[in-house]
Amino acid sequence: MTQQPDADVLIVGAGPVGLVAALDLASRGVSVIVVEQRAYLEPPNVKCNHVASRTMESLRRLGIAAEVRAAGLPSDYPQDVAFRTALTGREFARIAIPASGQRYTSHTGPDTSWNTPEPPHRINQTFLEPILARHAAAAPGVMLLNETLFHSLAQDDDGVSIVVSDLDGGDERALRGRYLIGADGGRSNVRKQIGAKLSGDPVLQHVQSTCIRSADLYDRMSADEPRAWGYYTFNARRLGHVYAIDGRETFLVHTYLSPDEAATPGSVDRDAAIRAILGVSDDFAYEAVSKEDWIARRLLADRFRDGRVFLAGDATHLWVPFAGFGMNAGIADVLNLTWALGAHLDGWADEHILDAYEAERRPITEQVSHFAMNHQQKLAKPSLPAHLEEDSAEGEAARAAFGAAVHALNEPQFAAAGLNYGYVYDASPVIAYDDEPAPGYTMGEYTPSTVPGCRAPHFRLADGTSFYDLLSPGYTLVARPGSEPAELASEAELRGIPLSVVEADDDVLPAEYRFPLTLVRQDQQVVWRGEQADAATAAELWELLRGARVAAAV
């Protein structure tokens, strides 16, 4: 007799990726058990510092975007990125990014014109993760098993069984789910259990990271200059980055090591490097809150799935953590997966809809990994002007030229419209493609499009309602005046597929909505567009979209 599942989905790992997966599944009526080694609300290391616009759009759907935006830095603290000779030294360039309190109203900065209901937000993971954990703990159908070790898994035709225990190895027991998501980080035990392998570029750069606390560091800086969320420092003694964690006294300092320094462990004096980055003397006192030495890599798993077991987040990809790309890509991974799992568990999608997860997400994560690596390589070897720190006309000229160069290089990283909105699912088994090729994209730029596989351009209705707020749990049909959506709606209803229809005219629709009908998935990706659909065409389309037949153009 088959053992009854303890939950529909088991999740190993309660970082941001695992917690967002639990929240999304709960919103779909799917029961979840999350296994995590750390204690409930135990803070993570000060890692990711950025929640991307695309992630904020998803948190808006889950009802927690406003709470996330209110957390982290004070609401009036600029989220700028400043480029300086040292933290307390001369500033020579700045990327303006509004404070959270002005995020919906400011027009200053390279990302304030983006067509989205939710701009990005700079917040450290140490503030973000507890918000996610509290909401997951309160969500119906979610059980958090903290201070619990995952040991092994076994799967069969009906589900996945795992062995877990207390941290000391006691109370070993089995749990069973219909599916398992491994969101257990770069050293993923789930990945090892299914035999997936990471490959790529194992060493790009060695980094010393130190979280420090100093109540008077800001007093060492010029009172005439606005604060910044991030500081890139360049001088002949040391290159580094500094990030404001709480806007008062806590900072994360990254010290970047040269290849020669990395080859000789212990050769870099951590304290001396921090002081060179900060531009302070030996009389400056600070507390080292935590220390972590790590290696920037570019690694990608050879597969994201084995049967009923799926991998997401750092378990599938590791790369240079510029602007939170890793966490945000991991959240995009898992929301792609949980949408498909919810559709199948709800009964309206065939199990083959799950084949789309790896087909859609793995190519995108490989693209992002190369974007991150290429950017890291450009940053790793800056040619510092000889007069950069001089109080002279030559120094001013050097800073102006160097500032323009680093601003141009880094603006696409901190205003990454392409990485947020430009990626395309171009080989999915559950998207109906047409003959028009999707536009390309870069880290910082993209071309809005309704080509199937692209993100549906955002718009607002005449009453100000965001189109994204109207997306159904399944699909949403954008219907222009005079279009005929009835057959699509009827065939969807026959199959129990959630479908809503949004009627919009030229006054609100972006020009990219050229077709009378555009069908959009809940994750905002266009899956089909057309002039009309009779009953036979609609039936064939829905069978494709729900994973019941091999992909073909419709």
Based on the fold, state whether residues 322 and 179 are members of the same structural domain.
Answer: yes
Domain of 355?
A: 7-71+124-198+299-372
Identify whether the C-beta of residue 151 lies closer than 8 Å to the C-beta of residue 164: yes
Judge whether 509 lies within some domain: yes
Based on the fold, state whether residues 365 and 503 are members of the same structural domain.
Answer: no
- For residue 2, the model assigns a pLDDT of 64
Q: How many CA atoms lie within 13 A of 59 on its CB side?
A: 27
Distance in angstroms (rounded) separating the CA atoms of residues 306 and 296? 27
- Cβ-Cβ contacts under 8 Å for 318 (sequence gap 6 or more): 186, 198, 297, 298, 299, 326
Based on the fold, state whether residues 330 and 442 are members of the same structural domain.
Answer: no
Q: Indicate the residue among 372, 392, 408 that finishes a domain.
A: 372
Judge whether 83 lies within some domain: no
Tokens of 404: 């323009």
What DSSP element (H or E) covers 536?
Answer: helix 535-545
- For residue 550, the model assigns a pLDDT of 53
Domain count for the chain: 2
Judge whether 538 lies within some domain: yes
Based on the fold, state whether residues 441 and 524 are members of the same structural domain.
Answer: yes
Judge whether 175 lies within some domain: yes
Judge whether 163 lies within some domain: yes
Tokens of 238: 């040391």
Cα separations in angstroms, 349 against 33, 158, 413, 429, 518:
23, 17, 37, 13, 20
Based on the fold, state whether residues 431 and 331 are members of the same structural domain.
Answer: no
Based on the fold, state whether residues 321 and 436 are members of the same structural domain.
Answer: no
Tokens of 233: 């420092």
- HEC sequence for 459-479: CECCCCCEHHHHCCCCEEEEE
Based on the fold, state whether residues 339 and 486 are members of the same structural domain.
Answer: no
Judge whether 219 lies within some domain: no
Helix (H, G, I), strand (E, B) or coil at 532: coil
- For residue 520, the model assigns a pLDDT of 98
Tokens of 262: 């990395």
Based on the fold, state whether residues 142 and 39 are members of the same structural domain.
Answer: yes
- CA 57 remoteness from chain centre: 11
- Cβ-Cβ contacts under 8 Å for 359 (sequence gap 6 or more): 425, 427, 428, 429
Based on the fold, state whether residues 343 and 428 are members of the same structural domain.
Answer: no
Judge whether 255 lies within some domain: no
Identify whether the C-beta of residue 429 lies closer than 8 Å to the C-beta of residue 550: yes
DSSP for 229-259, written as a single string: SEEEEE-SS-EEEEEESSSSSEEEEEEEPPH
Helix (H, G, I), strand (E, B) or coil at 356: helix
Based on the fold, state whether residues 183 and 327 are members of the same structural domain.
Answer: yes
Judge whether 50 lies within some domain: yes
- Cβ-Cβ contacts under 8 Å for 328 (sequence gap 6 or more): 50, 51, 52, 54, 55
Residue 103 has phi, psi (to 5 degrees) of -60, -35
* Residue pLDDT tens, the chain, 554 long: 468 999 999 999 999 999 999 999 999 999 999 999 999 999 888 888 899 999 999 999 999 999 999 999 999 999 999 999 999 999 999 999 999 999 999 999 999 999 999 999 999 999 999 999 999 999 999 999 999 999 999 999 999 999 999 999 999 999 999 999 999 999 999 999 999 999 999 988 899 999 999 999 999 998 888 999 999 999 999 999 999 999 999 999 999 998 888 888 888 999 999 999 999 999 999 999 999 998 888 999 999 999 999 999 999 999 877 657 889 999 999 999 999 999 999 999 999 999 999 999 999 999 988 888 888 888 777 789 999 999 999 999 999 999 999 999 999 999 999 999 999 999 999 999 999 999 999 999 999 999 999 999 999 999 999 999 999 999 999 999 999 999 999 999 999 999 999 999 999 999 999 999 999 999 999 999 999 889 999 999 999 999 998 544 44
Cα separations in angstroms, 533 against 274, 478, 537, 541:
64, 14, 5, 9
CATH number assigned to the domain comprising residue 356: 3.50.50.60
CATH number assigned to the domain comprising residue 508: 3.40.30.120
- The neighbouring-strand residues paired with 89 are none
- For residue 265, the model assigns a pLDDT of 80
Based on the fold, state whether residues 334 and 442 are members of the same structural domain.
Answer: no
Distance in angstroms (rounded) separating the CA atoms of residues 58 and 132? 13
Distance in angstroms (rounded) separating the CA atoms of residues 318 and 314? 6
pTM of this prediction? Answer: 0.96
Helix (H, G, I), strand (E, B) or coil at 126: helix
- What is the four-CA torsion angle of 322, 328, 330, 333, rounded to 10 degrees? -130
Identify whether the C-beta of residue 123 lies closer than 8 Å to the C-beta of residue 52: no
Based on the fold, state whether residues 434 and 529 are members of the same structural domain.
Answer: yes
Q: How many CA atoms lie within 13 A of 277 on its CB side?
A: 26
